[in-house]
Amino acid sequence: MCALTSRPPAQRGQQGQALGRSRGGFTTKIHAKADNSGDIIAFDLTGGQVSDTTRFETLLNIGPDITPRAALGDKGYSSKANRAAARARGIAPVIPHKANEKNRPAFFAKTLYKAHACQ
């Protein structure tokens, strides 16, 4: 007699495969976490329609168990919630503010932002 083993259902559709529609068509987006020299240490795959802002905390949580002094990101990661999440972990957020953001601070660490290797 043969014992039947249950297999997990095959993941179908866009969610299980990190595929989604965006302006460019059917795409995948790679959200990467890199060290100071620009080497990728962790990444997260999402569908192309997923906003960068929603993945910032995921990038802070994944990867090696280290606490960076600063988290650099482009304007796609700009939000009060993301800056607060970084500060709650003791990390200085270096994310430029969007032009339409209210209550933008006068100071921004422009020198530190320009020195990052992802440009």
Q: Which helix (H) or strand (E) holds 70?
A: strand 70-72
Number of domains in the chain: 1
Looking at per-residue confidence, does 111 or 118 come out higher?
Answer: 111
What range defines the domain where residue 36 resides?
17-114
Q: Whose CA is closest to 82, among 38, 119, 51?
A: 51
User: What residues contact residue 94 under an 8 Å CB cut-off, 6+ apart?
Assistant: 70, 71, 72, 73, 109, 112, 113, 116
Residue 6 lies in a domain: no
Length of the chain: 119
- Which tens digits make up the pLDDT trace of 30-60? 899 988 888 999 999 988 888 889 999 999 9
Q: Look up the pTM and report it.
A: 0.71
Q: What's the pLDDT score for residue 90?
A: 95
- Helix ranges, the chain (H): 56-61, 80-88, 110-114
Whether residue 10 lies inside any domain: the answer is no
Q: Which pLDDT score, from 0 to 100, does residue 98 have?
A: 85
Is 21 inside a domain boundary? yes
